[in-house]
Amino acid sequence: MTPVRRLLHYFAKYRRTLLLGFACVLGSAAFSLLKPLIIGSAVNAIGGTFTRGMLVRYGLMLIGAAAMQGVFLYLHRQIIIGASRNIEYDMRNDFYAHLQRLPLRYYQEQRTGDLMSRATNDLSSVRMLIGPAVMHSVSSLLVVTGSFVMMLRIEPMMAMIALLAVPVVAGLVKYFGQRIHVRFKSVQDYFGDISARVQENLAGVRVVRAFTREASEIETFKRMNHEYVERNRSLIRLTATFYPALHAFIGVMFVLVFFIGGRRILAGTMTLGDFVAFQFYLAQMIWPLIALGWVMNLFQRGMASMRRLHEVWSVEPGVDVSGVVRASGAPEGGGAPEARTTPRGDLEIRDLTFAYADRAVLRDINLSLRHGETVGIVGRTGSGKSTLLSLLTRTFEPPPGTIFIDGIPIETIPQHQLRDWIGMVPQETFLFSESIAENIRFGRANASAAEVAEAAEEAGLTGDVATFAQGLDTVIGERGITLSGGQKQRTAIARALVREPLILILDDSLSAVDTQTEEKILRALREIRKGRTALIVSHRVSSVKDADHIVVIDDGSIVERGTHEALVAKGGYYADLYRRQTIEAELEEIA
C-alpha cells in the first residue's frame, strides 16, 4: 500500500461527512461569487435613478449573501476540520497499535526519539493536509473556476488576459513546492535526531552524571539545536521568497487589468458597475491562487510526513497473531480442529537452531518438560539462554516445528493465548511510572487488591512495602527509579505471579537480591511452581539447584544436563561454577 492509498483509506471511512462538508464548501463559494454581482449591479444603478429603497434592497441582498456565505463557511470548517481530527485520532491509534505489533528487532535498529517525532509532529502535519489543505484546495478551485466564468460573461478578452496568471502561479507553486518538500523533510528528519538525542540523555541521566558529561552533552545539544534552527531558516527563506514573488506578479496583473478596463470605460464599451464587479472577481480568483501556494506548502509538508509514517507502517509485524490451536492428534485437513481450552503445560523443544542474521545463537537444542516440572538453565553470558526464552514467548519467531506446548507447535497458537499462558520475568526489569500495585496489576488488569498483595508477598516484597508511607500505592517514578535493583526485580516477579501462569519463566530475575531474600523467594516459588511448568535462568547455582532438571548451555548448545547432584559429581562447568560460588559465599560470611 502506497502512502496515498493509505491516506485515501482513511478518507473513505469518513466519505459521507466529507461529502457533506464539500457541499457546504460549494454553498460558501456560490454566495461568495454572488456578492460582486450585487455590488456591480448597485454601482450601475447609481448612474440612473437611485432611491433609498434600492439602497436598502441592495444592502440587504449584500448582507444576506455575506451572512449565508458565513453560515456555509462555518459549517464546512466545522465538518471538514472535525473530520480531519477524527482521522488523526484513528491514524494515531493505528500507528500506536502497529508499533505494539512490530518485532523486537525493529526497535533494536530504531531510535525511540525518532519514532516519537513521527507519532507527534508528523501526524500533526498529516492532519493539516487532511483538513485545511484539502478544504482550502477545494474551496479555492471552486472560487477560481466560478470567478473566471463570471469574468468571461462580463468581458471575455480581459478574462483571458487574467487567465495568463494561472500558469505563472502554477509554475511558481511547482518550483517552490518541490524545494519546500525537500527542505521540510530535512527539518523533520533532523527533529527526529534531536528527539532521539534528548530521549537517550534523559533515560541515561545517571550515566551522564556519573561520567561528568553534562557540559559535553549540553554543547552537543547546542550544536544540534543550531543546525535545526539553520534548517528551519533555510525553509523560511524559501517560503519568504515564494509569497512576495506571488504578490508582485499579482500586483502587475491588477495594474494591467485596471489599465485595460479604464480604457474600455472611457470608450463606453464597459459600464462602471461591470468594471467594479470584474475587479472583485479578479481579486476572488487571484487570492485563492495565493492560498493554493500555502495549501501546496501544507500538501508538501503533509506528504513528506505521510511518507515518514508509511516507512513505519510498511514494516510487517514480526509475529503472526492469527494462528489456530489444534489439539494433539487433530487432523491437518477436513473438519474443525478441537481447541484445547484447558492446556496442561507440557513443553517440548525439538532440534531448535536459531540465528541472528548469519550468526547462529542456538544449535540443536532438545528439551522436554512435563507439566509441573522445573528446569534450571545456566551458562556463560551470551551463551543463548535469554534468546531461548524469547523464542518460547515468540518475542522472536522460532523456526516452525521446533517448540511445542502440549504437542501443539507454538507458531499455530494465537499470540494472545500463548502469552496468557506464560508469566515471564525478563532479565531487564522495566517498571512504569505508576504505583507498585498498578505495576503488579499490569500482569492482570482485573486482579483484586488481595491478589496483588498476595503476589507481592510471594515475591518477597511485603517487607519493603511496609516501610513505604503509602504501601503498595506508592508511586515509584519513571522506570521505578525510587526502588532499588532488588525491589524492582521483586515487583517484576509479583507482576508475573499475579497472572497465575501455566508456564512460569524467570530470566536471571534474582540477580539483584541478596542471598537471604533469594532463599525466601525461592521457598515461596517452590510452592508456586507446584502444578506449573517453570524455567529458571540464572547465573547463581542456588537459584536452580532444586530444579527437576538442569541444563548447561555454552556457545548456543546444551553441553551438560542432569540433576544438581549428578552435575556436581560430573565435575564439568556446572560443578566448577558451584564450587566457586560456594567459596564466595563462605568468604562473605567470614567478612
Quick one: pLDDT at residue 286?
Answer: 75
Q: Which of 269-278, 317-326, 472-481 has the lowest mean pLDDT?
A: 317-326
Single-letter code of the amino acid located at 414: P
CA distance 35 to 539: 83
Measured CA distances, 218 to 188, 198, 213, 226, 488 (Å): 21, 10, 9, 12, 31
Comparison of pLDDT for 86 and 589, the residue scoring more? 86
Quote the DSSP letter at residue 169. Answer: H
Average of per-residue pLDDT across 102-127: 81
Quick one: pLDDT at residue 27?
Answer: 92
CA distance 171 to 175: 6
Give yes or no for residue 217 having a pLDDT over 80.
yes
User: What percent of the chain stands above pLDDT 70?
Assistant: 92
Average of per-residue pLDDT across 330-341: 39
Three-class secondary structure of residue 344 per DSSP = coil
Quick one: pLDDT at residue 345?
Answer: 82
Average of per-residue pLDDT across 123-131: 87
Quick one: pLDDT at residue 74?
Answer: 92
Give yes or no for residue 293 having a pLDDT over 50.
yes
pLDDT digits (tens, 9 = 90+) for 418-442: 888 888 888 778 888 888 888 888 8
CA distance 161 to 168: 12
Q: Where are the alpha helices (DSSP H) in 102-163?
A: 104-109, 112-117, 123-128, 134-154, 156-163
CA distance 473 to 553: 41
pLDDT digits (tens, 9 = 90+) for 388-407: 888 888 888 888 999 999 88
Quick one: pLDDT at residue 50?
Answer: 66
Greatest mean pLDDT among 15-29, 176-190, 292-306: 15-29
Query: Is residue 349 within 8 Å of residue 402, measured between CB atoms?
Result: yes
Q: Where are the alpha helices (DSSP H) in 531-572?
A: 541-544, 564-570
Tell me the domains of the chain and their CATH numbers.
Answer: 85-313 (1.20.1560.10), 347-353+366-590 (3.40.50.300)
Q: Which of 144-148, 158-162, 297-301, 338-342 has the lowest mean pLDDT?
A: 338-342
What grid cell was written down for 571? Answer: 565435575
Whose grid coordinates read 541515561? 204
Quote the DSSP letter at residue 398. Answer: P
Give yes or no for residue 246 having a pLDDT over 50.
yes
Whose grid coordinates read 519463566? 505
Three-class secondary structure of residue 411 per DSSP = helix
pLDDT digits (tens, 9 = 90+) for 533-565: 888 888 878 888 888 889 999 888 999 999 889
Q: Which of 198-202, 335-339, 542-546 has the lowest mean pLDDT?
A: 335-339
Residue 318: pLDDT band (50, 70, 90) is low
Phi-psi region of 471 (alpha: psi -120 to 50; beta: other; left: phi over 0): left
Whose grid coordinates read 476572488? 284
Tell me how crowded residue 451 is: count the other CB atoms within 10 A of its CB. Answer: 17
The DSSP string of 196-260 is HHHHHHHHTHHHHHHTT-HHHHHHHHHHHHHHHHHHHHHHHHHHHHHHHHHHHHHHHHHHHHHHH
Comparison of pLDDT for 584 and 99, the residue scoring more? 99
Comparison of pLDDT for 580 and 515, the residue scoring more? 580
CA distance 353 to 90: 41
Quick one: pLDDT at residue 48?
Answer: 65
Whose grid coordinates read 516452525? 400
Q: Which residues of 101-110 are buried (b: 16+ CB within 10 A; e: fewer)?
A: ebbeebeeeb
User: What percent of the chain stands above pLDDT 90?
Assistant: 8
Question: Average pLDDT, whole number, for the chain?
Answer: 82
What grid cell was written down for 145? Answer: 473556476
Tell me how crowded residue 549 is: count the other CB atoms within 10 A of its CB. Answer: 17
Three-class secondary structure of residue 470 per DSSP = coil
Residue 79: pLDDT band (50, 70, 90) is very high
Query: Is residue 315 within 8 Å of residue 102, measured between CB atoms?
Result: yes
Average of per-residue pLDDT across 28-51: 83
pLDDT digits (tens, 9 = 90+) for 486-512: 788 888 888 888 888 888 888 877 766
Q: Which of 214-228, 285-299, 425-439, 532-546 has the lowest mean pLDDT?
A: 285-299
pLDDT digits (tens, 9 = 90+) for 352-399: 998 876 778 899 999 998 888 889 998 888 888 888 888 888 888 888
Quote the DSSP letter at residue 513. Answer: S
